[in-house]
Structure 1
């Protein structure tokens, strides 16, 4: 099937163009065709809601565990106070836990974190299929870049045709509403 936007030849089962990510036309009489409108993609505010829910789901247990195991790392301190010895270790633990949560959930059979599941979203490749753990890892760490440039990488969701953030563009992924995923 040729892409109507860039002309790239795609496999017959592809739901999105492998070159540009544009939705491909559904077959005649097909009820499960690819999304044709922006409404099929996860918009800015629904993605913000999903992220905030995920932040609570992952953040509260991390803070509780840190408070129980080494509360000195959570205490407020002045600029001249020494850094508690376990603080760097907790930073590393939090980074690894977040990475395993987001990349693991996005590459799982659910194709979504718990927050995205609640809001009816899925992360897919341009064919509408589940992404690999490696791609999900790249997408996760690309979110750092999305945030570094004054959050513009995230704000792009509101203005791009397929509602992609910078990290989606980098990882070649889409966030779609659940009803558009097989």
Structure 2
């Protein structure tokens, strides 16, 4: 069995890597809970990259649809101008689409958005299992709080032991590298 941490070949029945000590046996992972090795989790910059990719994947079709269907809502207006009903409708549509994308993908069998998949990340609970749509919904809307406090909720990823953002702590989730789930 090959170690996903260091690449060392180990005996087929090995529970731990002979070179680096990483857990090889999935049964040991179930007993031990989440790994203590910070390398098993998605770090700050890889999560930023995944988010930016997701923003393009979801944002470009949203802007294209809005431009084609309701181009009058794409015009800049002054801060004192009233919000037209069509613009308010598009805002709500965009909020719902984003919620369904992020919560739906995180709770799907893929356990990740398209951006996270590209970067080899998965969103899991503390047992490494798929999260429910309800938990994914709570996590998604908790990202608002992560951003409202001067982005400190996101920056926490760089400093917490399991690289959790504030919304991960609120939802009791982890963002792990997919190698940990094998």
Between the aligned partners of 1:117 and 1:61, the Cα distance in structure 2 is 19
Confirm or deny that 1:130 pairs with 2:124: no
CA distance in 2, matches of 1:165, 1:81: 37
Contact 2:36–2:162 (Cα < 8 Å) also in 1:
no
Structure-to-structure mapping, 1:10-159, within 5 angstroms: 28=15, 30-32=24-26, 33-34=28-29, 35-159=35-159
Aligned mates of 1:79, 1:99 — CA distance in 2: 27
Report Cα offsets for 1:80-110 as digits up to 9, x if no partner. Answer: 4443220110010000000000000000000
**Secondary structure in structure 2 of the residue aligned to 1:134:** helix
The aligned residue for residue 23 of structure 1 is none
Residue 77 of structure 1 and its aligned partner are, at CA, apart by: 1.6
Is there any run of 5+ residues in structure 2 with no aligned partner, and where?
1-13, 17-23, 30-34
In 1: Cα distance, 2:84 partner to 2:71 partner: 10
Across the aligned residues of Structure 1 and Structure 2, the Cα RMSD in angstroms comes to 1.4
- Asked if structure 2 preserves the Cα contact closer than 8 Å seen for 1:72 and 1:84, the reply is no
- Partners of 2:137 and 2:81 in 1: CA distance: 36
Distance in 2 (CA, whole Å) between partners of 1:164 and 1:181 is 17
**Inter-partner Cα distance in structure 1 for 2:159 and 2:80:** 44
TM-score (norm 2): 0.82
- Is 2:172 the counterpart of 1:172? yes
Moved over 6 A (4+): none
Number of positions where the alignment pairs a residue of Structure 1 with one of Structure 2? 156
Cα deviation, 1:17-75, whole Å, max 9, x if unaligned, reads xxxxxxxxxx9454335434100000000000000000000000000000001111110
Q: Which structure has more helix as a fraction of its residues?
A: 2
Tell me the distance in 2 between the aligned counterparts of 1:128 and 1:78: 48
**Equivalent residue number for residue 22 of structure 1:** none
